[in-house]
Amino acid sequence: MQGAASLVYLSSSDMYKLINYSSFVNWLAVGLSVVALLYFRWKRPNAPRPIKVLHLIAVQQLVCLVMVIVVAAVATMAVELCGTDR
């Protein structure tokens, strides 16, 4: 995933776009980690874990991450389509 993101980074010379790309990929990776945590909690509930996290906390974090990713994507799309920073 990082290799593909690096190729996208090379296509832009604007620093703000590079920051947006990297933060989007970072939040996406964190979100996928939380999804994996919830998946393994569901599929392997008795597996030994070094750190135990309540389901409520993981779901809450996932909802927040989805909100961050969606808002960032919509804001970036609005800037690209309208050409303004509003």
Tens-digit pLDDT profile for residues 28-74: 888 888 898 889 888 998 888 888 878 888 889 889 888 888 887 78
Question: pLDDT band at residue 12, thresholds of 50, 70 and 90?
Answer: low
Distance CA(2)–CA(75), nearest Å, equals: 23
Rounded-to-integer distance, Cα 83 and Cα 49, Å: 48
Number of neighbours of residue 8 by Cβ within 10 angstroms: 14
Q: Is the pLDDT of residue 86 over 60?
A: no
| Helix, strand, coil distribution of the chain in percent, nearest 5 | 75, 0, 25
Q: Cα dihedral angle (28, 9, 15, 17), rounded to 10 degrees?
A: -50
Look at residue 85 in the predicted model and tell me its pLDDT: 57
- pLDDT bracket for residue 75 (50, 70, 90): confident
